[in-house]
Amino acid sequence: MSRFVRSKWAQFLVMLVALEIIAISINMFYAPHNIASGGATGIGILLEAAFGFNLSLVVLIINIFMLILAWIFLSKQTVLKIALGSFILPVCLALTPQIKLIKDPLLTVIVGASIFAVGISMLYQIDASSGGTTVPPLIIKKYWGLKTSTSLLLIDGVICLLNVFVAGFEVMVLAVTSQILTTIVMNFIETGFDRKKVIYIMSDSDLNKIKGKLGLLGKALTIFNVTGGYTGHDKEMLMVIVENPDYHQLLGLVHEIDPSAFVLVMDAAEARGGIWNGGDQYLTQIPSEKRSEVLEKFNADER
């Protein structure tokens, strides 16, 4: 988090923006189509669609009730953490007009879920909350040990299912879809779009050639000493981190040198610090007295 966002006023500003973004997603995308995708706002949408209750007032009442539960069963610190968002979100909902911006329900869910995910992710970045149904999972975890993510999923799932009785089966499916899309978008926002690949390589015959080729191409690598679980033989395993666009090129290079090489590929959400790409980093990591030996061996393998 940047130094600017560490200040209390900056965090308050971020919270206001995040809660208004959530209010926009609710009032301009979910509520006009009666799609309740979970949380206190989902309950408010259901009650508004079924009985005409005011959405922002319902959310305020639910949030106050949840604050009382948090005060009784949880720490005062938790109450203070969620109190501000619990009162500001209903105000944002009351001030934001309820307009149907998109007529197509599926497109509404796609856009609304993406906007909602941005708002929630901003709150997570400053360790804030909009209150509501985030409280019961904390109580359940404290007294019964169930993960908060599991119990929150169950609560939101029940709210999504209630769409069947208010707006029909299709709206329920849209609500579930919105939950899935929100989770996907939040994962991308939190882990970043600049994702990379971590590649582990083992070769019985041409590892030195692969090692040298990657080094000369400017791909930094880390070498692990490993032992085969079946054979008991000591081996070397390479770890290389590459940008996504370079992945297929590197994979083709390895299989060109050794078609039977073992390659394990994993996604990396973030790579910071150290040297993981660029220049002749592999050669610079080798002691100077051994560099000529490595280059000669690589050139001999090439011939």
Domains of the chain: 3-191 (no CATH), 196-302 (3.30.70.120)
* Cα–Cα dist 42/178, whole Å: 12
- Averaging pLDDT over each range in 41-55, 209-223, 264-278, which range is the top one? 41-55
The pLDDT of residue 2 is: 47
Pinpoint the alpha helices (H) of the chain.
3-6, 8-25, 39-51, 55-73, 76-95, 105-125, 135-144, 148-161, 163-166, 169-191, 207-216, 247-257, 281-285, 288-302
- In this prediction, residue 6 carries a pLDDT of 64
Predicted confidence at residue 280, as pLDDT, reads 43
Sign of CA dihedral 65, 130, 38, 148: negative
Q: What are phi and psi of 99, to 5 degrees?
A: -125, 140
CA–CA separation, 46 vs 102, rounded Å?
A: 20
Q: How far is CA 39 from CA 125, 228, 273, 278, in A?
A: 19, 50, 39, 46
Sign, CA torsion 80/86/91/92: positive
pLDDT confidence of residue 205: 77
Task: Tell me what pLDDT residue 192 has.
Answer: 65
Half-sphere exposure for 47 (CA within 13 Å, toward CB): 16
CB atoms within 10 A of CB 251: 17
Mean pLDDT of the region 118-136: 85
* pTM for the predicted model, two decimal places: 0.71
Phi-psi region of 96 (alpha: psi -120 to 50; beta: other; left: phi over 0): beta
> Whose CA is closest to 295, among 215, 236, 239?
215
Question: Residue 134 pLDDT > 80, yes or no?
Answer: yes
Q: What is the mean pLDDT of the chain?
A: 83
Beta carbons of 21 and 118 less than 8 angstroms apart: yes
Q: Which residue has the tokens 């490595």?
A: 294
Q: Is the pLDDT of residue 216 over 70?
A: no
* CA angle 127–63–73, rounded 5-degree value: 75
CB under 8 A, 24+ apart: contacts of 266-269: 266/197, 266/198, 266/199, 266/200, 267/195, 267/196, 267/197, 267/198, 268/195, 268/196, 268/197, 268/198, 268/241, 269/191, 269/192, 269/195
Task: Compute the distance between CA of residue 204 and CA of residue 167 in angstroms, rounded to an integer.
Answer: 62
**Residue 21: what residue type?**
I
Does residue 68 or residue 278 have the better pLDDT?
68
- Vertex 243 angle, CA 240 and 245, to 5°: 125
Helix (H) or strand (E) holding 200: strand 196-202
Q: What is the pLDDT of residues 151-207, one digit of tens each?
A: 888 999 999 999 999 999 999 999 999 999 998 888 777 766 667 888 898 888 778
